[in-house]
Structure 1
Amino acid sequence: MRHQSRHAGGRCRGRAAWVGGALCLAITAAQASPPPMQAGPGFASPASSAKLPEEPSAVPDDVHPWLSQIDGARAMGWVRAQNARSLKVLQSDPHYAGFYAQALAIEQSHDRLAMPMPLAGAIFNFWRDKDHVRGILRRTTQVSFLGSTPDWRTVLDLDALTRREHANWVYEGLNCAEPGETRCLVSLSDGGEDATTEREFDLASGQFVKGGFTLPHSKQTIAWVDDDTLLVARDWGAGTLTASGYPFVVKLLHRGESLAQAKEVYRAGPMQIGVDPLQFADGQGHRVDILMTELATFHYAYRVWTPQGLRLLDLPEQADLEGLLDNRLIVHLNEDWAPKGAAKIGAGALIALDLDHPDAAASVIFAPGPRQSVEDVAVTKSRVLASVYDNVRGRGMVFAPDGAGWRAQSLDLPGNVAVNVVAADTHSDSGFLTVAGFLTPTELWHADTAIPTVRKVRALPAQFDASGMVVDQYEAKSSDGTMIPYFVVHRRDWAKDGSNPTMLYAYGGFGVSMLPRYSGVLGKLWLDHGGVYVLANIRGGGEFGPKWHDAGLKTHRQLIYDDFAAVARDLATRGIADAAHLGIRGGSNGGLLMGVEFTQHPELWHAVIIEVPLLDMLNFETMSAGASWVGEYGSVSVPEQRAFLARISPLQNLHADGHYPEPFIFTTTKDDRVGPVHARRFAARMEAMGLPFLYYEETEGGHHAGANQREVAEQEALEYTYLTKKLMEPAKPAAPQTTR
């Protein structure tokens, strides 16, 4: 069972991720203990006091309309020219070669932690290194995995498959049939696109199944009904995709049938975002097939499917299904809910629905407080395993059925760290978690949730010298008085004179929590050289539950941008970094954040990295999967929302006389979620205005920017070279600049 995230940042929003796939941006959790959070007006009222610029009187046509032809010859010629110009600047810098070598060594290190996938009584892992550029799927026993040196056996070699088929395959995960978990669909993407080709694979024999299920290239979601039957949502031909480009027709496909013979079982509406078939299974042998219709961004309708028909589940529209335990659906609420005849349950709560007794009231597993949130949830054979955050500090918790209620127990894990649930086995009580901090290398822990006890399996060796470094946490007052927490990672012997080269990172959308993580590349290429790293917990994220996210939706979004600017000003006030030494970075929805900050406050920073971004907010709904994000951003079809989008849209708010820093704009040709056209249009507008910029478009990698570790290391080296040039080198007399 799996569900593909459609959000700009790739978050799975609590639903089950693909087994072994990199669907969600990897964000780990909190390390430092923050001061008490002040509940400002942002919790209760998302009104902003910021003064927005007036809407432009006219929006000019695209400078080069042909840039919208993603693979067009003229567009790709422009891309190659921009790449060559920017690479000449960055790769000729004396820092680049060393940065690339260090980043690649870290990305390909055999000391990296192998993250487990419990399947069929064994442990699987997908692994890339210098000898396996595209990667191998491998397996070992749980006993071996918990030992010091696991005995891995290769099951599927993606490099060999790609060579044999002369293809550009990128592995995107496994989808295995219950209860045996040996017959699986392998998802293969062309260069990293969200669209995949699905092929049936036998884990026991290590071979693709001759004459087995094969579903060609499409954005598609599939659930196994049994070993010989699939529920499939995909492109079935004309009139079966929504305006967002996702399928809204589900069909039943039996073994031996062609796609044309599949029988339709459900059809959602073409103006909805899409529909996904899902299957949840538990350790007691129950299975439930569910059709999840995404009505609008963050709004879902769940229907139980059986051969006899469909039954709509009594749930609020803003809820995520997390798993099945003893035929009880585990649900994470993202809005307040008052079931008929029962007391209101607050947003952020974890609840259980008894499928054997549909009329029974939902039981509350865990109700978070105002400064708490539930981040990760997984289900073992008899328990619910979760990571819970309290003031951005993580802990592992186990919840067990106890009569009509639930018993909660905390796991004995290190404190003041990030805690993430990695995997859980529904056929045993085994689960895996990671703990980490900015300066604390990631550790993998195994939990026996039935007792519950934990033991450390292994730890990542330190990838940089953190002995002279510390982590602080501060708060900045935003435009409406809300206090915004942020972390600062720095050398202990720094001087608070504003001269510290500082990189500020945030995301600010889709309920994605920005929680500290250990990054060897960040440490080696930035912190080791005297750089400061700042992570801001601005609104739009989920660090303090659904209301922290909801405060910045649609026309209230200026609050998110005010939060970020407030952190930048607070850094200057505290003497950490002035504008000449401050750089900012963000991707996807965070790329939109960078574009807005670039145009609204160019005076606050000297370096801006804009990655796989949304930048044309007056046209985003018609670009790639943009129509699926109206619930986050609003729609140009609503006058008030269009006026707001026009005021904040980075593309339309570029001005030839703007005093902008030279940005580094990065995107990928294969990104079929946000798409490269946003970045192209923005760069082309800057080019036409004679404004300086650097632009690089990777031809592979999809929305995750990099189809293999070499491409990832190259991008990391380019970005840290750019930051080093802008923030660490002494200022030089300005030279004439050209973008042609």
Structure 2
Amino acid sequence: MSTLTLSALSRACRGILAAASLAAVGIAGVACTPNAEDARLNDTASHEDAATDSYQWLEDVTGDKPLDWVRGENERTEAELAATPEFKALEGDIRAILDSDAKIPGVQKIGDYYYNFWKDQKHERGLWRRTTLEEYRKDDPKWETVLDIDALNEAEGENWVWHGAQCLKPDRDRCLIALSRGGADANVTREFDMTTKSWVEDGFFRPEAKGGLQWIDRDTVYVYTDFGDGSMTESGYPRIVKEWKRGTPMSEAKVVYEGKADDMYIAAFHDDTEGHERDFVSRTLAFYNDELYLRSDDGSLAKIDVPNSVNKNVHKEWLLLELREPYEAGGAEYPAGSLIAANFDDFMAGKREFTALFTPSDSTSLASYTWTQNHLVLNVLDDVKNRLSVLTPGDGGWKESEFAGAPDFGTVSVGAVDADESDALWMTVADYLTPTTLSLVEIDKQPEPLKSMPEFFDASNMVIEQHFATSQDGTRIPYFLVRPKDLAFDGQAPTLLYGYGGFEISLTPGYSAGVGKGWLEKGGVYVVANIRGGGEYGPRWHQAALKANRYKAYEDFAAVARDLVERKVTSSAHLGAQGGSNGGLLTGNMLTQYPELFGAIVVQVPLLDMRRYHKLLAGASWMAEYGNPDTADWEFIKTFSAYHLFDPAKEYPPAIFMTSTRDDRVHPGHARKMAAKMLDAGKDVRYYENIEGGHGGAANNAQAAHMSALAYTFLWNELAK
């Protein structure tokens, strides 16, 4: 890998929710796949918890009694929502979109070929396939199948879900492929021969667990996984990383580093950039808290001596630091949200001379940055709108220039085609109403459009606006509004408000054909709130809603809801809320703390029981976000623990809880227990649990279409009355 970011777990997977839950933009991507289903699944309860929580039996994920309850609720929900012709039509429309061959096949350059993972109606679990750039430029490229996951499942009697591949440089004839049963985070890793397109007999194999393999060289890998008792952290991730030689049992692999039980994740990586080959060990103590070590040939480790909150990136001769807190070095102080650079070897030798590459303002934050062979491209959010610029290192320092060809509006993202060999970039552009386009861009040249999605819904009578609501403490909260051009502003429009508000994740405009077909095309209004807890304005925006300040994210969301009513876009009876994972905690709190603001609420793959969240699956890894309920933190955590805030004496809007049995990141017990508690109190609640699907909720397009149709049907039934 030419660019090595060893806080990769925190950055790529820093949100609890994988990319599958965010608005799809129509380009096949690689899901975040951070390990075996947590062995502590049912061995987590204190006697006190069991005595006070009469619904704790629903935490037994695969127990007969809980699954009987799940099946019964599924049947009841489907009898209400899924039996009509309108539902079948909507489900079919969404399934057709997901199965459509018109989606843009996003590609990754590996050697001379461009690889894509593709799902459609005939290939529910997908094809890993490849083509050439010459073919890819065509409207209908010829693809060569490398691995057919559906055929593999049939041959092996499995239900594998693709979790990605890492291919060995420079020959790229061997890859380490990760496969998950049913879409869980836990996966296996198997060695694949790209020449014969077959599994390597007696090749590297990592049994099912959370963790991974990383190439060092042809006969050596780093392995971090479940090695047996005591080898996993309390968060359920690897605590130990080893160096493993081909032809030897994994049990004989040499220990490289051991973390502590209360660490989050331990891993190691090899940087194979020619002329800059290095090895690193990453110790993630918690979200936003990791250590990075340079590993020498003799196995010794030298820490990169910067604050643990810093995102660290090593590329060729450069060390880049993305700051979450103010940082003083070399006699200068750099504010939180800055990106600074130093020569890596000089830094390791004790020199602390940095150049500021980006400094935030009140309206700007660094969304991302991308290395090419000779340049660094910055992607900046300015009031949640993307702006690109190019930095070029040289003898006279860093030179800044404009990025040619980027549009003025819409979400713009760029990624290097091959940072080792060229300055080419992939550029995608989309907004809520404009289908995604993919272009090939050379620095200082106009983009070459390659692919464009079709219009999956009629947006001709719709418009996008950005507004700002005022939260309770006076903070301006941006939100995007998608509405019919001829909206009456009489307070009657069925309106869906979506939010997340956590883990420094920004919600920017994207083309979601499902939202368009399931909501907008019917005449509904769609709103996305950029509340605190996210990353829209950098670390300060995220940190403003951490732990004891979590309530501010909920006040922000409520402020947007009230602003929509004040503008007469809608009224409480016609306003719905939707969110998943951390966003499910958000909507759970809307349900319990702000029930008067909403006419219906969708709560997906949620956290809700914040008294026990840290004892369930990967929950302990999120204490940097929410706090530790086993300490005095419980005094503020209980103020946003939706499960405990429920009051049987109160009135609540209709709600639906949706999750997956196979979600091994956020425990399905959260949704089960909350729904059961509310149902037993006679509240207007529905529940649906997909039996597989992982944290994204669905393992294939049919399941995804079904769950989306359930949510939109429920919302329309309640809000369009």
Q: Do they superpose with TM above 0.5?
A: yes
Partner residue, 1:291: 281
Partner residue, 1:421: 414
- Alpha-carbon displacement from aligned partner over 1:198-254 (angstroms, at most 9, x marks no partner): 001123332222221111101013321112111111111111111111111111001
Q: Structure 2 length as normaliser, TM-score?
A: 0.92
- Give the counterpart letter for 2:118 in structure 1: W
Partner residue, 1:193: 184
Partner residue, 1:219: 210
| Aligned with 2:431 (options 430, 437, 442) | 437
Aligned residues of 1:508 and 1:539 also touching (Cα < 8 A): yes
- Give the counterpart letter for 1:582 in structure 2: L
Aligned-pair Cα RMSD in Å? 2.0
Q: Counterparts in 2 of 1:95-134, with a 5 A limit? A: 95-134=86-125
Q: Counterparts in 2 of 1:626-637, with a 5 A limit? A: 626-637=619-630
- Give the counterpart letter for 1:643 in structure 2: E
| Aligned with 1:454 (options 447, 460, 467) | 447
- Alpha-carbon displacement from aligned partner over 1:492-523 (angstroms, at most 9, x marks no partner): 01111110100000100000001111111111
- Shifted more, 226-235 versus 583-592: the winner is 226-235
| Aligned with 1:82 (options 59, 62, 73) | 73
Structure 1 position 423, deviation (Å): 4.8
Partner residue, 2:324: 334
Give the SS at the match of 1:160. helix
Aligned residues of 2:439 and 2:449 also touching (Cα < 8 A): yes
Cα distance between partner residues in 2 of 1:179 and 1:404: 33
- Alpha-carbon displacement from aligned partner over 1:72-107 (angstroms, at most 9, x marks no partner): 111111111111111111102342101101001111
Partner residue, 1:700: 692
Q: Percent identity?
A: 39
Partner residue, 1:8: 16
Structure 1 residues 399 and 180: CA distance shift in structure 2, 3 A: farther
Aligned residues of 1:579 and 1:603 also touching (Cα < 8 A): yes
Aligned residues of 1:120 and 1:182 also touching (Cα < 8 A): no
Number of corresponding residues: 686
- Give the counterpart letter for 1:286 in structure 2: H
Structure 1 residues 146 and 406: CA distance shift in structure 2, 3 A: farther
| Aligned with 1:136 (options 127, 135, 147) | 127
Partner residue, 2:458: 465
Structure 1 position 285, deviation (Å): 3.8
Q: Structure 1 length as normaliser, TM-score?
A: 0.90
Cα distance between partner residues in 1 of 2:109 and 2:369: 16
- Alpha-carbon displacement from aligned partner over 1:428-475 (angstroms, at most 9, x marks no partner): 2222121111111111011223x4542221211111111111111111
Structure 1 residues 11 and 436: CA distance shift in structure 2, 3 A: closer
Residues 1:536 and 2:529 aligned together: yes
Q: Counterparts in 2 of 1:133-532, with a 5 A limit? A: 133-282=124-273, 284-308=274-298, 309-322=300-313, 324=315, 326-339=316-329, 341-357=330-346, 358=348, 359-360=350-351, 361-403=353-395, 405-409=397-401, 410-429=403-422, 430-449=424-443, 451-532=444-525
Structure 1 position 59, deviation (Å): 11
- Give the counterpart letter for 1:534 in structure 2: V
- Alpha-carbon displacement from aligned partner over 1:99-136 (angstroms, at most 9, x marks no partner): 10100111111110111111112210000001111000
Cα distance between partner residues in 2 of 1:372 and 1:302: 28
Aligned residues of 1:11 and 1:24 also touching (Cα < 8 A): no
Cα distance between partner residues in 2 of 1:353 and 1:279: 21
| Aligned with 1:597 (options 590, 601, 609) | 590
- Alpha-carbon displacement from aligned partner over 1:253-311 (angstroms, at most 9, x marks no partner): 011111111010111111111212233343x4423222111122211110012332111
Give the SS at the match of 2:428. strand
Aligned residues of 1:327 and 1:354 also touching (Cα < 8 A): yes
| Aligned with 1:721 (options 697, 713, 720) | 713
Cα distance between partner residues in 2 of 1:397 and 1:119: 27
- Give the counterpart letter for 1:23 in structure 2: C
Cα distance between partner residues in 2 of 1:397 and 1:127: 32
Partner residue, 1:734: none
Cα distance between partner residues in 2 of 1:539 and 1:66: 35
Structure 1 residues 423 and 61: CA distance shift in structure 2, 3 A: farther
Give the SS at the match of 1:95. helix
Structure 1 position 66, deviation (Å): 2.1
Partner residue, 1:733: none
- Give the counterpart letter for 1:448 in structure 2: E
- Alpha-carbon displacement from aligned partner over 1:31-53 (angstroms, at most 9, x marks no partner): xxxxxxxxxxxxxxxxxxxxxxx
Structure 1 position 6, deviation (Å): 5.8
Structure 1 position 422, deviation (Å): 4.4
Structure 1 residues 11 and 248: CA distance shift in structure 2, 3 A: farther
Aligned residues of 2:573 and 2:598 also touching (Cα < 8 A): yes
Cα distance between partner residues in 2 of 1:695 and 1:241: 33
Give the SS at the match of 2:617. coil
- Give the counterpart letter for 1:204 in structure 2: T
Aligned residues of 2:33 and 2:185 also touching (Cα < 8 A): no
Cα distance between partner residues in 2 of 1:397 and 1:135: 36
Give the SS at the match of 2:421. coil
Moved >6 Å (runs of 4+): none
- Shifted more, 696-705 versus 395-404: the winner is 395-404
Partner residue, 1:671: 663
Structure 1 residues 331 and 446: CA distance shift in structure 2, 3 A: farther
Partner residue, 1:64: 55
- Alpha-carbon displacement from aligned partner over 1:125-168 (angstroms, at most 9, x marks no partner): 00000111100001111222233332211111000001000001
Structure 1 position 352, deviation (Å): 3.0
Aligned residues of 2:412 and 2:428 also touching (Cα < 8 A): yes
| Aligned with 1:21 (options 30, 49, 53) | 30
Cα distance between partner residues in 2 of 1:688 and 1:527: 34
Aligned residues of 2:14 and 2:503 also touching (Cα < 8 A): no
Give the SS at the match of 1:648. coil
Structure 1 residues 700 and 322: CA distance shift in structure 2, 3 A: farther
- Give the counterpart letter for 1:21 in structure 2: V
- Give the counterpart letter for 1:270 in structure 2: A
- Shifted more, 69-78 versus 686-695: the winner is 686-695
Structure 1 position 527, deviation (Å): 0.7
Aligned residues of 2:550 and 2:640 also touching (Cα < 8 A): no
Aligned residues of 1:365 and 1:405 also touching (Cα < 8 A): no
Aligned residues of 1:364 and 1:406 also touching (Cα < 8 A): no
Unmatched tracts of structure 2, length 5 or more: 2-7, 21-27, 35-48
Unmatched tracts of structure 1, length 5 or more: 13-18, 26-57, 731-740
- Alpha-carbon displacement from aligned partner over 1:630-672 (angstroms, at most 9, x marks no partner): 1100111331x21111122111111111110120100001111
Partner residue, 1:682: 674
Partner residue, 1:645: 637
